[in-house]
Amino acid sequence: MQNSPSSELPPLLAAIQSPEDVKKLPAGQLDALAAEIRETLIHTLAETGGHLAPNLGLVELSIALHRVFNTPTDKILFDVSHQCYVHKLLTGRAGQFHTLRQHGGLSGFCKRSESEHDAYGAGHAGTALSAGLGMAAARDLAREDYHVISVVGDGAFTCGTTLEGLNNIATTTRKFILILNDNEWSIDRNVGALSAYFASLQETDTYAWLRRNTKAIIEKIAGTTARKQVSKLVRAAHGIITPLSFFQELGLSYYGPVDGHDPKRLEKILRIAARNDGPVIIHVITEKGRGYAPAAGNPTKFHGIGQYNVEDGSTSKGAVITYSEAFGTHLTRLAADDPDITAITAAMPTGTRLDIFRSRFPKRYYDVGIAEEHASLVACGMATQGLKPYLAVYSTFMQRCVDMIQHDAALQNLPVRFCMDRAGLSPDDGPTHHGVFDIAMMRAIPNLVMMQPKDEAELGHMLATMNTINDRPSLIRYPRGAGEGVPMPAELTPLPLGKAEMIADGSDITLLALGNMNGYAAKVRQLLAEKGISCAHVNARFICPLDAECILQQASRSRLIVTMEDHVIAGGFGSAVMEMLNEHRHATPVLRIGWPNQFIEHGSEAQLRAKYQLTPQAIAECIYNNFTNK
């Protein structure tokens, strides 16, 4: 990519060292500042990758928030916090912005340890409203008077936790600001001219004062009964002409829709809302990808993207098929021969490549929005009726489904197929997205089949295996990014359930590798052979049930068992092997290779593997030292 350097900041942005500098900027320069911020986002993310389209749409709103409110005293929460790039630029981190998502640099999400201005860190949707309510409740108990503002995208309103939070706003706090960042224009189109009329009324201090005080005035003049009757009449009339009474019934004063790219109007509405003594929702209309034609024209592609060419937004596509592409292709092949197969995802058809399935079988494809728990239960319901549902989400989001996998699928022996993309390291996204905890979370669940393929071809065979499992749930985990470059299989054939694959024989050590660690195991075996150590290499394939026969046999022949997994050591695949050997009273020692039991920071895969000594050379050295010291 031939992109210009992004570490040099334009003049207005370079002068902003804190939110106080944003407040001092003359109103006539706000459009110029917004333009500089967009240019900085476009050129920086071309080099670092990241969430471009959402942040391009949030420029003016972020500026307005910092002109009206005073962080860190006032708390601004972003849902999902990948919308916080402009916030970072305006809170003293512009000079570091070129390090975004780089090892040792700025996180791609809000991070409390990174800045006092980051009130709450998260990489999953549906957190900002409830966490904000918790902050507001704490403020009220302490009798303090700062503002809490939760900025929530319209997509996150499909998330169960957001809906639960909406239900509790009025009973939790006296003062709270919820901003609905809507980049789909859905409500604006439904309401039309009447909505614009009410918006114009709401954008005045007089209207806001009347709305706050009318009930008290009527009660003082005519009594409580009259006040209640007038309130009912107002609610009924408002409900006839606008569907937005939904928010009013929840106890929120509604403002909007507001043009999210009009700095003057945004500031005006935010200042009015700041003077409101009750909970408020501000409906802001924004354009995802605004200011950069490739992103505006394809917001899905530029929602989260790697490096790209600034001139036309083009990206270099790898020659090797990704695991996600292999998954979508394999499942579509299976579905062509099995009409009972359905596919479900939670607002990530492109990321999981279920868009491949959708284009072929649109009536058997279901996107439930950001609602992983709901997706799991929909799949369970389908399974009770004889369908074969495949639910595909990222490992980090499948964490939310653990209850449903245990309580609903496994307990009832429902054959739901759970497919976890991005299992293992998700390098540049960091600790919110690494899928390194799923085995420990789920391998203790009874009646669950759990597996991981060594390459993109074996992924197809494992999907075919899942299709034959009709008496219990099954789960498959596979990594992010390019596969191993092996040919795609001509036929997808089921594997023997719970059986490992012997790849190479050896007499001293058994390398028991899971999934993508098989490639590392092959290199480690070669490095140890150069030191005179003979290693067997076994592709484990199954986490549960384990291939006890194979492992016990290798334990009897080897002086050391080494487990290798792209997962934390605690409670993972290696722990399962140790438990099984212990049950059979085998004294063969086990050396577990995997990630330490901690939250791994962001960075490139090469950097992280080098730091945590998980390169083939470091692993071989660790095994050699352990073996020779026995």
Instruction: Report CA-CA distances (Å) from 80 to 124, 185, 274, 462, 498.
Output: 6, 19, 23, 33, 39
Cβ neighbours of 322 (radius 10 Å): 19
Helix H or strand E segment including 564: strand 560-568
- Spatial CB neighbours of 304, under 8 Å, sequence gap ≥ 6: 49, 50, 51, 82, 351
Whole-number Cα distances in Å, 370 to 80, 126, 393 = 11, 8, 10
Catalytic residue among 400, 454, 592, 609: 400
Burial group, residue 40, by CB count within 10 angstroms (0-12, 13-18, 19+): buried
Tell me the residue length of the chain.
630
How many angstroms separate the CA atoms of 101 and 55, rounded? 15
Task: Return the HEC string of 107-166.
Answer: CCCCCCCCCCCCCCCCCCCCCHHHHHHHHHHHHHHCCCCCCEEEEEEHHHHHCHHHHHHH
DSSP string computed for 178-244: EEEEESS-HHHHHHTHHHHHHHHHHTSHHHHHHHHHHHHHHHHHH-HHHHHHHHHHHHHHHHHH-TT
3-state secondary structure 509-546: EEEEECCCHHHHHHHHHHHHHCCCCCEEEEECCEEECC
Q: Kindly name the residue from 75, 139, 227, 288 that is annotated as catalytic.
A: 288
Joined tokens for residue 408 = 């609903």
491 is a catalytic site residue: no
Say whether 400 is catalytic: yes
Q: Quick one: which of 347, 346, 352, 306 has its CA closest to 329?
A: 352
Does the active-site annotation cover 372?
yes
List 39, 60, 372, 458, catalytic entry: 372
- Which residues are catalytic, by number? 288, 372, 400
